[in-house]
Chain A
């Protein structure tokens, strides 16, 4: 059985704890990273946390000209191989869900890697709008 990050937007209260948890989990040398999850406000009291869907037939993987995106067999998440990324940013444009992000022009692109199997967002979400579940 593999696990997946499940989003239940109806439970989201827009507190953005997931964003903070993500930024801190992806901190480098004490500096928080850019969050891989983003909470979008759609209407009054309606929020949707958006993060990588780990598509089976992923556009980012298909678009990458240097095979810098691979699926981690253990977690099922697509991961950026930072030292292979040539910063061409085509995946950022190709992802139809907008889940590839440029953190800084000089750095490799970033995306949700389910924190290697222990996603911080789900761990800290107070309302279980984000859950890491067996599927």
Chain B
């Protein structure tokens, strides 16, 4: 265990805790866009900046809290002038990059920024290169998409910019994307994502298309669960549960009347 001060409050955390976790545990809020508890910290969005002074040092530093370890004797400020100024600058740049993103606009206006001081980039989509989609895909074991290019050319892409062969169409990337920038369309038992079409499996009871075949097969294998667990959609599984319970209820009644 180690002690540190966050906004003047003494906090005790386990060794190895990230500064962001320590700050949130202490009840303070720090905005993030690229952080996810199930994934390794990445430090891409730069919104979680805080000001720290290490023990025995005079100077303070502005660091990203998500990938900075909580250290003993650390003094942390989450709303100091330097922090607010840095965060504002980051949002100013994000706003210039994605002027059409409601999420970015809302965050920016919460800091009093209603338009970017930089010329807005009208030709770009709402990707902020936070890498959440790439990292979640890797975490799930598919690694179908990657970061490609450098500098201003950097983007999230499938290998060779073709429909990704390793994608199973699970759609997790689209759901975790903080700006909702990844299109996912389900229509007529087909799913389209990353310019690839996936056939969807229909529930054996009601016929609703509820999962892509590739995803189903990969999850049966990865989970070690029997394939029969996956053959109904959740609504029909629930109906089956109700029927099973009802059958038992009727049997119980019969047994009771025999006694």
User: What is the interface of chain A, defined by CB distance below 8 A to chain B?
Assistant: 7, 9-10, 38, 40, 42-43, 46, 48, 50, 59, 62-63, 65-68, 81, 83-90, 92-102, 105-106
Q: Complex: how many Å from CA A99 to CA B238?
A: 7
**Which of B38, B180, B230 contacts A66, CB < 8 Å?**
B38
Query: Which one of B141, B210, B245 lies within 8 Å of A93 (CB-CB)?
Result: B210
A96 cross-chain contacts in B, Cβ below 8 A: 228-229, 237
Contacts of B243 in A (CB 8 A): 42
Kindly count the residue-residue contacts between A and B in the assembled complex, taking CB atoms under 8 Å apart.
Answer: 115
Report B233 CB to chain A, min CB distance, Å: 8
Contact A99 B241 (CB under 8 A): yes
Chain A to chain B contacts (Cβ below 8 Å), 11 pairs = A48-B246, A50-B242, A63-B219, A63-B223, A86-B176, A89-B170, A94-B230, A96-B228, A98-B233, A100-B234, A106-B175
Contact B141 A94 (CB under 8 A): no
Contact call B229/A59, Cβ cutoff below 8 A: yes
B235 within 8 A of A: yes
The CA-CA distance from A38 to B235 in the complex, in Å, is 10
How far apart are the CA atoms of A93 and B225 in the complex, in Å?
Answer: 11
Q: Is the CB of A90 within 8 A of B238?
A: no
B216 on the A face (CB < 8 A): yes
A88's partner among B170, B236, B240, B249 (CB-CB below 8 A) is: B170
| Measured CA separation A17–B233 after assembly (Å) | 25
Chain B interface (Cβ < 8 Å from any Cβ of A): 36-39, 136, 139-141, 170-172, 175-176, 180, 210-211, 215-216, 219, 222-225, 228-230, 232-243, 245-246, 249, 253
A101 — nearest CB in chain B belongs to which residue? B234
Q: How far is the CA of A18 from the CA of B215 in the complex (A)?
A: 34
Residue of A10, A38, A50, A90 with highest tally of chain B CB at under 10 A: A90
Given known contacts A62-B225, A98-B241, A88 and B234 CB-to-CB distance under 8 angstroms: no
Q: Is A97 within 8 A of B241, CB to CB?
A: yes
Which A residues lie within 8 Å of B233 (CB)?
A: 93, 98
Query: Chain B residues near A68 (CB, 8 Å)?
Result: 38
Q: Which of B140, B219, B238, B240 sits near A94, CB closer than 8 Å? A: B219
In the complex, chain A residues whose CB is within 8 Å of the CB of B140: 65, 86, 88
A48, A59, A86, A98: the one contacting B139 at CB < 8 Å is A86
User: A59-B229, A65-B139, A68-B38 in contact; A9/B249 too (CB < 8 A)?
Assistant: yes
